[in-house]
């Protein structure tokens, strides 16, 4: 049994988000819309020792299998995170997060003069121009958002 599993209990059915960049677990929960109103068991591990990352965060969500479009948003914060779908204590699917080409609603345009920040009936929309370093381009005003613009929104 590994050191990680000793520290965090196993779940029967649900999703384990592993290899989250250390310090970003709570932001990942926010991105997924997991707030204090959620009834299911959610286990958060922060600064867990990792062979590949040194330190990592991880999140276990009991009774909920995340859809791919949900987990892809995690790549905005943690491009190396992995998603494990658990059924009856077994990992039945494992995949790395990947940024979609278009990101809608998750973040707002950092340009205060962008029309998407006004009272118009539109959803913020961004194109992923570059993944590493992260660069998102606003569909409406063309403003380029970088990692710091995005992270401070969570």
CA–CA gap between residue 132 and residue 28 (Å, rounded) = 18
CA–CA gap between residue 122 and residue 107 (Å, rounded) = 13
User: Is 127 one of the binding residues for other proteins (CB under 8 A)?
Assistant: no
CA–CA gap between residue 129 and residue 34 (Å, rounded) = 28
CA dihedral 51, 52, 55, 56 (to 10 degrees): -110
Sign of the dihedral through C-alpha 97, 59, 137, 127? positive
Using CB atoms within 10 Å of the CB of residue 100, give its burial: 0 to 12 exposed, 13 to 18 middle, 19+ buried.
middle
Residue of 6, 51, 120, 123 interacting with other proteins (CB under 8 A):
120
**Interface with other proteins in residues 92-111 (CB under 8 A):** 111
User: Is 140 one of the binding residues for other proteins (CB under 8 A)?
Assistant: yes
Nearer to other proteins, 30 or 137 (CB): 137
Question: How many residues sit close enough to other proteins to count as binding (CB under 8 A)?
Answer: 18
User: Is 38 one of the binding residues for other proteins (CB under 8 A)?
Assistant: no
User: Is 119 one of the binding residues for other proteins (CB under 8 A)?
Assistant: yes
Instruction: Specify the DSSP element, H or E, that contains 151.
Output: helix 147-151
Nearer to other proteins, 61 or 136 (CB): 136
User: Is 82 one of the binding residues for other proteins (CB under 8 A)?
Assistant: no
User: Is 128 one of the binding residues for other proteins (CB under 8 A)?
Assistant: no
Nearer to other proteins, 143 or 154 (CB): 143
User: Is 115 one of the binding residues for other proteins (CB under 8 A)?
Assistant: yes
Give the residues lining the site for other proteins (CB under 8 A).
111, 113-116, 118-122, 137-144
């Amino acid at each position: 049994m590994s050191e990680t599993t000793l520290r965090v209990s196993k779940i029967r059915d649900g999703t384990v988000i592993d290899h989250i960049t250390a310090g970003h677990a709570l932001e990942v929960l926010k991105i997924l819309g997991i707030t204090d109103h959620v009834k299911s068991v959610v286990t958060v591990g922060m600064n867990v020792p990792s062979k590949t990352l040194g330190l990592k965060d991880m999140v276990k969500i009991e009774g909920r299998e995340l859809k791919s479009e949900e987990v892809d948003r995690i790549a905005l914060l943690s491009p190396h995170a992995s998603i494990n779908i658990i059924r009856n204590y077994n990992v039945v699917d494992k995949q790395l997060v990947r940024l979609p080409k278009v990101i809608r609603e998750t973040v707002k345009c950092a340009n205060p003069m962008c029309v998407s920040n006004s009272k118009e009936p539109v959803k913020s929309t961004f194109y992923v121009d570059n993944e590493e370093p992260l660069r998102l381009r606003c569909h409406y005003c063309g403003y380029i958002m970088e990692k710091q613009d995005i992270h401070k929104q969570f």
